[in-house]
Amino acid sequence: MTHDIKGVLPVVLMPYTEDGARVDEDDFLAQTEHMFDVGCDGFVVGQVSEVLRLTHEERLRVAELSAKAARGRGVSIMSTGAETPNAAVEYSRHAQEAGVDALLVMHPATIPLDDAGMVAYYSKVIEAVDIPVIVHHAKSLAKQPLSIAAQVQLLEEYGEERVLFKPEAQPTPPRVSQLRDATGGRARIFEGDGGMMLLDCHRRGLTGTIPATEIAEIVIALWNLLEQGRRAEAERIGHPLSYLMCHMMNSTDYYLSIAKRFLKERGIVKSTHVRGPSRHVLDDETWTEVHHTYQNLLSLAKEFNR
């Protein structure tokens, strides 16, 4: 199904019960329904899904929920990276057996790996499964960037049907071009900064973009305009979206505190709970500013998605 892994694939924001004791499965499915209803090609369970804060049993269950939610409507992609290759292989095999369409695999976050270590880690996971693997470099968690040469090595070894890329090492746009050029345009690359750099990255040869649930229809409108070559109209969405992301992307918890409040206000989830330990409390003045920007973006999205 590699040909279908493209376009706008938002990340589910993990919904919890009000006390945070368990995943709210109904609200998980409500998010995926919302994404498909507004025209997304599929969805992802990623790092902003608080995947590292899930219990082992919850991670297994979420993979099963993902396969169920996407069946017949689009693609499901499950995050299966871990601190050891053995653990990553276990999560990856389970996700494949559950029926997800692809894997998003992040590198270990606690130990810095050089290129040889990164290639060995990813190779073990890729060889353990049959479905495509998106190699995810998470800039906020990586001890050192995954080099272009290492990514090229993985592509040459396993091919573009098996290996895709979500590079986040900064500055992102020129690194997208470097990966594109180093692979002769073969690398299938996804932008992953909430659409912040989509105006620039799209023209460099993206396969898709991975935002999050709360901006799904906003990014759908932006992506479609860019695909149609309507740059001036795309800027009407892309510029305020970048401003919104400047507010939200100060940290993962900061992002979640805002995004989940957006979703609750819209009736897509019931709780704004962020599983702790969390170090952020959203202040009223920030909320007023981001809410105003968000409402304007939703209005623009409605205009262009007609």
Alpha carbon distance 271, 110 (integer Å): 30
Q: Is 116 exposed, middle or buried (0-12, 13-18, 19+ CB in 10 A)?
A: exposed
pLDDT value for 212: 97
Cβ partners under 8 Å of residue 281, min gap 6: 257
Residue extents of the structural domains in the chain: 2-304
Q: Cα–Cα distances in Å, from 284 out to 1, 83, 208, 277, 281?
A: 45, 37, 34, 21, 10
> How is residue 279 written in tokens?
């170090």
Range 2-304: architecture per CATH: Alpha-Beta Barrel (3.20)
pLDDT of residue 170: 81
pLDDT on residue 49: 97
pLDDT value of residue 168 = 83
Angstrom distance (rounded) from CA 297 to CA 294: 5
Q: Judge whether 210 is annotated as a binding position.
A: yes
> Which residues have C-beta within 8 Å of that of residue 205, sequence separation ≥ 6?
176, 177, 180, 185, 189
Neighbour count for residue 162 (Cβ, 10 Å): 18
Residue 117 CA, distance from chain mean position: 24
CA 302 distance to own-chain centroid: 23
SS in 3 state form for the chain?
A: CHHHCCEECCECCCCECCCCCCECHHHHHHHHHHHHHCCCCEEEECHHHCHHHCCHHHHHHHHHHHHHHHCCCCEEEEECCCCCHHHHHHHHHHHHHHCCCEEEEECCCCCCCCHHHHHHHHHHHHHHCCCCEEEECCCCCCCCCCCHHHHHHHHHHHCCCCEEEECCCCCHHHHHHHHHHHCCCCCCEEECCCCCCHHHHHCCCCCEECCEHHHHHHHHHHHHHHHCCCHHHHHHHHHHHHHHHHHHCCCHHHHHHHHHHHHHHCCCCCCCCCCCCCCCCCCHHHHHHHHHHHHHHHHHHHHHCC
Residues (pLDDT < 70) of the chain are 1-3, 139-140, 142-143
